Amino acid sequence: MIRLYDTKQHKKVDFQPLRAGAVSMYVCGPTVYNRIHIGNARTFISFDTIRRYLEWRGFDVTFVQNVTDVDDKIIARAAEEGRTAAEVAAEYTEAFIDDMHRAGVADPTIRPKATEEMDAMIALVETLIDKGHAYVEDGDVYFSVRSNPRYGALSGRNIDEMEGGHRELRADADGHASVADRKHDPLDFALWKAAKPGEPSWPSPWGEGRPGWHIECSAMSEKYLGLPFDIHGGGADLVFPHHENECAQSECASGGTFARYWMHSGMLQVNAEKMSKSLGNFLLLHEVLDDVRPSALRMLMLQTHYRSPLDFSVERMNEADSALTRIENAVKNIDWLCSNATDGAPDALDAAALNVKATEAHAAFTDAMDDDFNAPAALGVIFTLVGDANAEVADKSLSVRDAEAAMVVRDKIVELLGVLGIEIVDNQGDGMASDYPVEVIALAADIAGYGGADAMEAVEALLEARKLARSEKDWARADAVRDGLVSLGFVIEDTPQGARVTYEG
Ligand code: AMP
Ligand code: ZN
């Protein structure tokens, strides 16, 4: 049984999806006025991991994520740059999708755009007006917060206490800086905004205008998932006002439950401060990925529980990279030992014990992730398995039977990491040769007459050349190969099974 922390109930609860075997999820997407930073990426990676895990556990997951492609910030950016809001939104929507692909985040099942869903939003606003939860003022439509006795239940706020600080709240509750004096109550927030000159607008029963931010998610989640749906997610900064307002709109319009479980990921911080555009302390995801492997960034993200704040630093990033390298080296080591296993070698491994270790790791990993998606504990299980595998195969020559047993553990390591979205085998299934420096191709061309363009083949050609040189007692040439490889960051070991190369970078 999966248990998860539900923000609304303020505790861990058993997760029982509405339809057995299926999960419907909605995770608020980005406002596309800029490239996303690694704080945004943390939230998207957290929910991608949760989704992958649910799929691995056999659920058929429908994952909806919107793109907010009309908004004050997009309009402001367009005005600054002399472009249309649609051009700005199109550029950053594409950039967002690219960034997500680079970060290894799977595409949502459906990615609706606000500007393409006007009918659904307008219909929802009409329902709220008809039911007495919203009113029209001068082409704007506002939600009447006091018409909803449950308002505040998600974020644990009390309406009357909220009013004390209402000046600040008025700006907050809209999710936008401007405060509309047309509101009947300072707590109310905009569902529809009358068009201002030069702004993008759509026709509506209340005149030309555009939707408020919160109504988008209410309309799109209902349209694509139906109500209620299982999990609503986003960063913890969205609990109030965004999710509180979504919940109020959808529950007042439908008369039933909106989302059955609410999940929120903690903030990524720098020096204990939230990473945000407004504080200027952000690192853009695509720039970080120019320097850091996506799998290492993910390792860093998953080393902290998704609900806890995550302190980002370059040192922690490097540690995560080294941790990943340790796992990769263990896998490469087993691959190498297995590819050199011989029929003649005596059985050196305790195959039964290795099988048990793999099975136990699978169960412990599942327990960790079933407990509110505890990825740090799940990674701990993988590290233990890696340690056990290293200890078992160390300094051994493997028989073909041993290789089979070792592969069970090796495949379990790769499988469990894959569930967390950390891929350590490249697309060709070749091991980690994609990390090899391209310079090795030139080295192989020089010393070994290699004519291709593949780093893995280049290393093989160099090792062949070295073997030949040694058999011919051409020590100078053999040393040239070794020195060349070492200078590029490779380590060469001579073993009874032949020379083996690892790349340490
Ligand atoms: P936005 O485009 O600002 O609506 O943000 C997109 C997503 O990123 C939302 O789910 C936010 O909660 C999330 N987010 C923003 N800043 C951070 C941060 N520093 N750490 C984690 N998530 C964040
Ligand atoms: Zn939303």
CA distance 485 to 465: 12
What does the pLDDT look like over 226-260, one tens digit per residue? 999 999 999 999 999 999 999 999 999 999 999 99
Residue 214 CB coordination number (10 Å): 26
CA of 143 to the centre of ligand 1 (A): 24
456: closest CA among 490, 422, 424, 482?
490
The residue type at 386: V
pTM of the model: 0.87
**Sign of torsion, CA 296 301 304 305?**
negative
Query: Going by C-beta distance under 8 Å and a sequence separation of 6 or more, which residues neighbour residue 302?
Result: 45, 49, 375, 376, 378, 379, 420, 422
Q: What is the pLDDT of residue 163?
A: 64
H/E run at residue 297: helix 294-302
Torsion of CA 285, 290, 293, 294, to 10 degrees: 30
**Cα angle, residue 106 at apex, residues 358 and 505 outer, rounded to 5°:** 65
Please give all residues whose beta carbon lies within 6 A of any atom in ligand 1, as ranges: 28, 30-31, 39-40, 42-43, 234-235, 237-238, 267-268, 274-276
Nearest-CA residue for ligand 1 atom 7 is: 40
Give whole-number Cα distances, 65 to 47, 251, 368, in Å. Answer: 11, 20, 26
Looking at ligand 1, which residue's alpha carbon is closest to its atom 14? Answer: 40
Ligand nearest to the CA of 275: 1
Of 34, 51, 28, 68, the residue nearest 104 (C-alpha)? 51
Q: What is the pLDDT of residues 44-81, one digit of tens each?
A: 999 999 999 999 999 999 999 999 999 999 999 999 99
Per-residue pLDDT tens digits for 141-192: 999 999 999 999 999 999 888 863 344 444 444 444 344 578 999 999 999 9
> How far away, in angstroms, is 42 Cα from ligand 1 center?
8
Distance, CA 184 to ligand 1 centroid (Å)? Answer: 31
In the reported structure, the alpha carbon of residue 43 is separated from the centroid of ligand 1 by a whole-number distance in angstroms of: 6
Within 371-498, where are the H helices?
Answer: 375-393, 400-419, 439-448, 455-471, 475-487
pLDDT band at 7 (very low <50, low <70, confident <90, very high): very high
Is pLDDT larger for residue 172 or for residue 206?
A: 206
The atom number, within ligand 1, closest to the CA of 30 reads 2
DSSP H helices in 14-102: 38-56, 72-81, 85-102
Ligand with minimal distance to 242 CA = 2
Q: How far is the CA of 238 from the centre of ligand 1 (A)?
A: 8
Residue 126: which of 192, 212, 200, 216 has the closest Cα? 192
Residue whose CB lies within 8 A of the most ligand 1 atoms, among 26, 42, 43, for a mutation test: 43
Band of residue 433 on the pLDDT scale cut at 50, 70, 90: low
Task: State which ligand 1 atom lies nearest to the alpha carbon of 267.
Answer: 20
